[in-house]
Amino acid sequence: MASHHPAAGSEIAVDSRKLGIWVFLASEVIFFASLIVAYLVLHNRVTSGPTVHKLSLTIPTINTMILLTSSVAMVLALAHLRDGNRRASIAWLLTTAWLGICFLILKGVEYSHHLHEGLTPSVNVFGSAYYAVTGFHAAHVAVGVIWILSVALGLRHRLSPQNDVPVEAAGLYWHFVDLVWVAIFVVVYLMR
Amino acid sequence: MEAKAHKHPNYVLVGIILILITIAEVSVIGLPVPQLPFLLGFSIAKAFLIVAYFMHLKSDSRLYALLFAYPWPLALLLVGILIWVYFGFRA
């Protein structure tokens, strides 16, 4: 009997869409490694102006909890879809997107505090490195929110246990963004 | 909609463990202990849980795991070289 799975018939049973996402994520590892090493090298080379000690732990810790919870919501969306419960899957996708928006709002509040206290991207090398690392990560979160919303709202009638790759691909990206935040949280906020 | 019976890991439990590790990470700050080994250990544990359970690398095709693994040595090499070059020139 002929199978309709996209990977059926290939010698290695992989889905080309998932393969593409993994290759993309592999390239993102190098991208964020470059940013983080630049931060590590530059952040304590400040001769004047704000330093790393300006950073508060409160908002980043709450944001860590939010992103970890959103990852649970994302993986539950995939699990429910695979179990045939599309309605619950879409609800979890929307929950994930909402938690991502909460992360971005809190990031905006944190940036607002920093700017008010004089920590701007151009104030010194620490400011540049800090905004580069956290800003690129926040941009990835924003892309993830748009991606998840487009899957939840745009593809909602086409999602099924047989067609779960759109949710899985968005989930892989989202979990990777979470993984990067785990590194940023330790390097930028905890290791001083 | 055709449903298949899937046995999933307990994702909520994994999430709770991740949050508990985060609380432990933050609690270590300010304690009179060497913080770097604790922070590295905690973050590696969190990364493993996310990659293995949420990204399904523990149960998915080995090809994906290989694809995702290959840039990490390059990334570590990049970190090592850049830090060595920077601090080497400053010395």
Residues of B in contact with A22 (CB under 8 A): 64, 67-68
In angstroms, the CA B16 to CA A68 distance is 9
Gyration radius (Cα) of chain B, Å = 18
Q: Is residue A6 part of a domain?
A: no
Measure in Å the smallest separation between the Cα of B89 and chain A Cα atoms: 12
Residue percentage of chain A with pLDDT more than 70: 93
pLDDT at B79: 78
Which token pair is B72?
Answer: 């990490």
Q: Is residue A2 part of a domain?
A: no
CB contacts < 8 A (A, B) = 132
Measure in Å the smallest separation between the Cα of A63 and chain B Cα atoms: 11
Task: Quote the DSSP letter at residue A154.
Answer: I
Q: Using a CB–CB cutoff of 8 Å, tell me whether B81 touches chain A.
A: no
Tell me the CA end-to-end span of chain B in Å, nearest whole number.
66
pLDDT at A192: 74
Listed range (A60-74, A111-125, A171-185) with the worst mean pLDDT: A111-125
Residue A179 backbone zone (phi > 0: left; psi -120 to 50: alpha; other: beta):
alpha
pLDDT at B6: 67
Listed range (A7-21, A24-38, A84-98, B56-70) with the worst mean pLDDT: A7-21
Residue type, A23: V
Q: Is residue A147 part of a domain?
A: yes
Q: Is A131 a residue whose pLDDT tops 60?
A: yes
CATH number of domain containing A31 = 1.20.120.80
Chain A interface disruption, residue of B2, B4, B10, B11, most A CBs within 10 A: B11
Q: Is residue A157 part of a domain?
A: yes
Q: Is A1 a residue whose pLDDT tops 50?
A: no
Q: Using a CB–CB cutoff of 8 Å, tell me whether B51 touches chain A.
A: yes
Cβ-defined contact of A36 to B25 (cutoff 8 Å): no
Gyration radius (Cα) of chain A, Å = 19
In tens digits, what is the pLDDT along chain B, a chain of 91 residues?
445 556 888 999 999 999 999 999 999 988 888 888 899 999 999 999 999 999 988 888 888 888 888 888 888 888 788 777 776 655 4
pLDDT mean over A65-72:
97
Residues of B in contact with A79 (CB under 8 A): 6, 8, 11
Q: Using a CB–CB cutoff of 8 Å, tell me whether B57 touches chain A.
A: no
Residue A40's domain comprises 16-190
pLDDT at B53: 93
Q: Is residue A8 part of a domain?
A: no
Residues of A in contact with B2 (CB under 8 A): 84, 160-162
Residues of B in contact with A61 (CB under 8 A): 22, 26
Residues A179 and B47 sit within 8 Å (Cβ to Cβ): yes
pLDDT at B32: 86
Strand partners, A163: A160
Q: Is A5 a residue whose pLDDT tops 90?
A: no
Cβ-defined contact of A191 to B35 (cutoff 8 Å): yes
Which chain B residue lies closest to A157 (C-alpha atoms)? B1
Which whole-number Å values give the CA distances from A20 to A14, A23, B42, in the listed order? 10, 5, 30
Q: Using a CB–CB cutoff of 8 Å, tell me whether B75 touches chain A.
A: yes
Per-residue pLDDT reduced to its tens digit, A78-110: 999 999 999 999 999 999 999 999 999 999 999
Per-residue pLDDT reduced to its tens digit, A136-153: 999 999 999 999 999 999
B73-82 own/partner pairs: CB under 8 Å, 24+ apart: B74/A30, B75/A29, B75/A30, B75/A33, B76/A33, B78/A30, B78/A33, B78/A34, B78/A37, B79/A33, B79/A36, B79/A37, B79/A40, B82/A37, B82/A38, B82/A41
Residues A168 and A18 sit within 8 Å (Cβ to Cβ): yes
Measure in Å the smallest separation between the Cα of B19 and chain A Cα atoms: 6
Calculate the average pLDDT of chain A.
Answer: 89
pLDDT at B55: 92
Regarding pTM above 0.90, the answer is no
- Which stretches within A8-85 are classed as H helix? 16-42, 58-82
Q: Is residue A81 part of a domain?
A: yes
Number of structural domains in chain A: 1
Q: Is A54 a residue whose pLDDT tops 50?
A: yes
